[in-house]
Amino acid sequence: MEEDSNNNGGEEEVLGSSLTMEKVAAAKQFIENHYKNQMKSIQERKERRWVLERKLASSDVPKEEQVNLIKDLEREETEFMRLRRNKICVDDFELLAIIGRGAFGEVRLCREKKSGHIYAMKKLKKSEMLSRGQVEHVRAERNLLAEVACHCIVKLYYSFQDTEYLYLIMEYLPGGDMMTLLMREDTLSEKMAKFYIAQSVLAIESIHKHNYIHRDIKPDNLLLDKNGHMKLSDFGLCKPLDCRTLSTVNENEAMDDENIREPMDVDSRFPDAANSSSWRSPLEQLQHWQMNRRKLAFSTVGTPDYIAPEVLLKKGYGMECDWWSLGAIMYEMLVGYPPFYSDDPMTTCRKIPVDSKLSSEAKDLICRLLCDVENRLGTGGADQIKVHPWFVDVEWDKLYEMEAAFKPEVNGELDTQNFMKFDELNPPPPQSRSSSGPSRKLLLTPKDLSFVGYTYKNFDAIKALRNKSGDSMGNQMRNRTADETDVQMMTSMDDVIMSP
């Protein structure tokens, strides 16, 4: 008995030590995140002031009014710093229709109660993230969205968590996705395809500049706004690259993610590379793909038709894998179905139908994207692709200012007609504010420690809240002192370290 007691005591000591180490690591991460975010906020604040001063310098605004406008911005910035300390939780939003569902969670239309603004809420179950080893991917998605401020990327307004879920509150793009457009149009003209491929190039370039690989570029993740302009979304598989080390990723777990496995054989007629003659003609292949593409897109197994072979084969790979995916999408836009990769890259290129009416420039670009890494365009940067002859008439700096190649039908801010309909599996339960915010810190578990530093608030979102809340909130917040701010920060850190 004494021996068992000693053993149990030893196990408890090991468990206690392990939990203590987790809390130490979480505290370290909290402090690093806090000061990193502080420095980022200071930089963003300087940039906003610089933009305003530059606009005023080139305007006819009187000097006195210029001074007042700068003071107004300073007051706005101070108010932003105060308001961003307010806790936010799912109860602050009215939950509306589901517009997407995946292996780890769902995407839902929602309305912020205070501002009335419409957003898309991505909700991820923490336990699923942990059990499937997705923690790093979730962190990378949140970090990328918070870091990359680009009109080519879906905008993040808030991120937060409660005891069970992680939440990302993003802009809602009512135009649907590229998959929906392709299903509607079958194939796109070269002019239309060029517009969207060019916007995709800018989007991919923007995340590469921040040292991230997307790894899941596909039509479902190219969303259209109400005017038809494209934005890149869904960064759940993105991978940060440490620019201080090699520019490639070598990992045995490379793409073991739940939604990337073998191609899904819907009706036993999807051929592999050695059996690519199952269809009698390109027309039959086109008809088969059109009939089954949505089943593939929303299956839990998924399809690797857009993923570079070096990723699927778990070889070392880098940012160039995203350009292969773009080549596969371009092929599908112009031909009607994806190229279906093979061991021999040239086999893919030879699958371009001989009777297709593609220009020689389009065929050349497809072949130079769907090829081995050493010869793939984009390996040396996006400029390699931008200067390709197919883009000769593209004005890269005006793509998002010009009229889009296609304008979706959108009837109001709550319109979801361009998305699939999803049934409620379990109606959302009434939310309690106690599940989130300051009191939640007292209930932190080892599960929560994996997601320390997840919270984010966007300047524009806070500004909208301030405008809706009026001066009463502003006066209330102005009564708080800088000392209280420091105490709040240290209390939050204590909660991370000392929570049971």
The CATH number linked to 102 is: 3.30.200.20
Pair (238, 354) in one structural domain? yes
Quick one: CA dihedral 18, 24, 26, 32, positive or negative?
Answer: negative
Q: What is the pLDDT of residue 474?
A: 40
Which residue in 112, 108, 120 sits closest to 94, CA to CA?
Answer: 112
- Domain boundary among the residues 398, 431, 450 is at 398
The model carries a pTM of 0.70
CATH code at 382? 1.10.510.10
Q: Name the residue with higher pLDDT: 409 or 433.
A: 409
- Do 150 and 105 reside in the same domain of the chain? yes
* Mean pLDDT along residues 427-434: 51
pLDDT at 299 over 60: no
Measured between alpha carbons, how far is 448 from 500 in angstroms, rounded to an integer? Answer: 12
Annotated binding site: 122
| 155 plus 286 within the same structural domain | no
Query: Residue 213 gets which letter from DSSP?
Result: E
Does one domain contain both 221 and 102?
no
Task: Kindly state the average pLDDT of the residues 173-179.
Answer: 94
Q: Count of domains in the chain?
A: 2
Residue 315 maps to a domain:
yes
| Residue 469 within a domain | no
Instruction: Indicate if 297 and 360 belong to the same structural domain.
Output: yes
Asked, for residue 472, whether it belongs to a domain, the answer is no
Residues 321 and 180 in one domain: yes
Q: Are residues 188 and 306 in the same domain?
A: yes
Do 157 and 187 belong together in one domain?
A: no
Active site residue 216: yes
State whether 156 and 303 are in the same domain: no
Residues 168 and 304 in one domain: no
Q: Is residue 66 part of a domain?
A: no
* 262, 273 contact by CB (below 8 A): no
Q: How far apart are CA 305 and CA 323, in angstroms?
A: 13
Whether 369 maps to a domain, the answer reads: yes
260 lies in a domain? no
Indicate the annotated binding residues for ATP.
122
- Catalytic one of 92, 162, 216, 448: 216
Residue that is last in its domain, among 172, 194, 214: 172
pLDDT of residue 313: 80
Final residue of a structural domain among 129, 154, 172:
172
235 & 102 share domain = no
Nearest residue to 236 (alpha-carbon basis) of 312, 341, 154: 154
* 140 and 225 fall within a common domain: no
Torsion of CA 166, 171, 173, 176, to 10 degrees: -10
Q: What pLDDT score was predicted for residue 186?
A: 86
Domain that holds residue 158: 90-172
Residue range 56-106, pLDDT digits in tens? 888 888 888 888 888 888 887 777 676 666 788 899 999 999 998 877 789
> What tens digit of pLDDT does each residue of 350-409 get?
566 656 789 999 999 999 999 999 999 999 999 999 999 999 999 999 999 999 999 999
